[in-house]
Amino acid sequence: MAQVQAKLVELDIPREKLPRHVAIIMDGNGRWARRHGLPRIEGHRRGVRSVRTVVEESCRLGLQQLTLYCLSVENWKRPQAELEFLMLLLEQYLREERQEILDQNIRFTAIGRLEALPANVRRELDVNCQVSRDNTGLVLCLALNYGGRAEITDAVRALARQVRAGTLDPESITEDTIGQALYTAGMPDPDLLIRTSGEMRVSNFLLWQISYAEMHITPKCWPEFTLDDFHAALRDYAQRQRRFGGLPSS
C-alpha cells in the first residue's frame, strides 16, 4: 500500500481520479520496425516489453482491469509467416509470464473467438486462466481473434436462441441483458481507452463497452510506449470531467 501511495504522489493523481479499467489498442508495431529498418516481426517482439511495463505499473497502481487488444478478427489477412510468428510469440509470452501472473496476484482472462486460435495457444490460455482464477488483483484481459461487431453478433445469436427456446421474452431484453451476453459479461466498462501510433479510430474494439470511455491518443508506436507515456495518459484522464451525457456539476 505504501508503494502504491508513493506512486500516486509521483503521478500527482488522487486515487479516486484513477481509472478502474484501462483498455489499450496496441498499434504501430510494423511501422516502428519499418522506421528502424527492421522486419515487422521485430516490432511485435519489442512490443512485448511495453506490455510488461504497462501490466506491472497497472498492478502497482492498483487498477482493477487492463484489457489489451492483441489480435483482431481482421488480422488474419496478414502474411502467413507473420501470423505464425505472432502465434509463437503469444504462446511464449503466456508460458514465460505465468509465474509473474501468480506472483503479482493477477487474474488472467481472454475474450474473442478463441476457438479459432491454434490448439497450442488455446492450451496455454486455459492454463493461465485456471491457475490464476482465484487471484484477487489486476484482471488482465487479452482480446484475441476479437472484433466488436463479431462480439455483438455472437451475443445476438445467443439471445435469439434463448427466444427460440422460449426462455427469453423479447420484450424483456434490456441493455443489461445484452451486456450479459457479451464476452465481457461481469467486467466493468473501460474508463480510459488508449490508442498508440496516432490513428484516430477505434478499430472495431469494444464497440459496446467504450460508449462513455475517455480516449487518449498518442503518436508513439506501441514498441516505444514507455512508463512515462502511460503516466501521461493517466494524468490526461484524471483531468477529464466525466458527465455521461449530463451537465457538469457545479
Task: Look up residue 64 and give its three cell numbers.
Answer: 482493477
Task: Look up residue 236 and give its three cell numbers.
Answer: 490526461
Q: Which of 27, 128, 145, 191 is catalytic?
A: 27
Alpha carbons within 13 A on the beta-carbon side of 8: 17
Active site residue 27: yes
| 3-state class (DSSP) for residue 175 | helix
User: In the β-sheet with 192-195, what is the strand arrangement from edge to edge?
Assistant: 107-111, 139-143, 65-69, 21-25, 192-195, 214-217
Residue ranges of the alpha helices (H) in 115-193?
Answer: 119-131, 148-165, 175-181
Burial call 134-151: b when 16+ CB within 10 Å, e when fewer:
ebebbbbbbbbbbbbebb
Residue ranges of the alpha helices (H) in 62-174?
Answer: 80-96, 98-103, 119-131, 148-165
Four-CA torsion 209, 228, 50, 103, nearest 10 degrees: -90
Q: Which of 12, 29, 75, 176 is catalytic?
A: 75
Q: What is the DSSP letter of 143?
A: E
Residues belonging to the active site:
27, 75
